[in-house]
A = this chain, B = another copy of it.
Amino acid sequence: MAEKEKLTIVMFSGDLDRALAGFIIATTAASMGMDVSIFFTFWGLNVIKKNEGSIKSKGLMRKMLNLINRGGSKRLTLSKFNMLGMGTWMMKKLMKEVNMPSLDELITMAHQMGVKLVACTTTCGVMGLPEDAFRSEVTSMAGAAYFLGEAREAKATLFI
């Protein structure tokens, strides 16, 4: 049996629009039979944080950071035209009108289609993020070496 073609994505950004682009590409690739992995790092970790509850981290600075940088797919905003939330609200409404799945639904779909969602251990260490800060669809935690191992075998690698 021929091996599946790979696609690797580094999700660096925590903006709603960039996350949507990443997950639309990832789910489309999976539906075309590709083997997809997304490596979440820096602000990108916000995309896969749980939407509920608070994040328990140690030390005053990390507690503060995780308050102002709360994350969760339902809290993300557009990188442009957020306009105090109005632009983001409008974009979500326009997507619904043309029956596009929400980011939250895309993450679940991606997981069900076998897309690997991996959280960057280094950023988690710096930001004080425990493993239970992330939603259940996240398959594992790993470092940059894991990402490079995937990238060197991939047909395409995207830094989003």
Q: Which residues of A contact B (CB under 8 A)?
A: 5, 7-8, 10, 12, 14, 17-18, 20-21, 24-25, 28-29, 32, 34, 41-43, 61-62, 64-65, 68-69, 79-81, 90-91, 93-95, 98, 100, 122, 125-128, 143-145, 147-148, 151-160
User: Smallest distance from the beta carbon of A134 to chain B beta carbons, Å?
Assistant: 19
User: Smallest distance from the beta carbon of A32 to chain B beta carbons, Å?
Assistant: 6
Complex interface: chain B residues within 8 A of A125 (CB): 98
- With A94-B126, A157-B157 given, name 13 new contacts (CB 8 A): A5-B152, A17-B43, A24-B122, A24-B144, A32-B145, A34-B148, A43-B80, A64-B90, A65-B90, A68-B81, A91-B126, A98-B125, A158-B159
Q: Are B151 and A155 in contact (CB under 8 A)?
A: yes
User: Smallest distance from the beta carbon of A151 to chain B beta carbons, Å?
Assistant: 4
Q: What residue in chain B is nearest A59 (Cβ atoms)?
A: B97
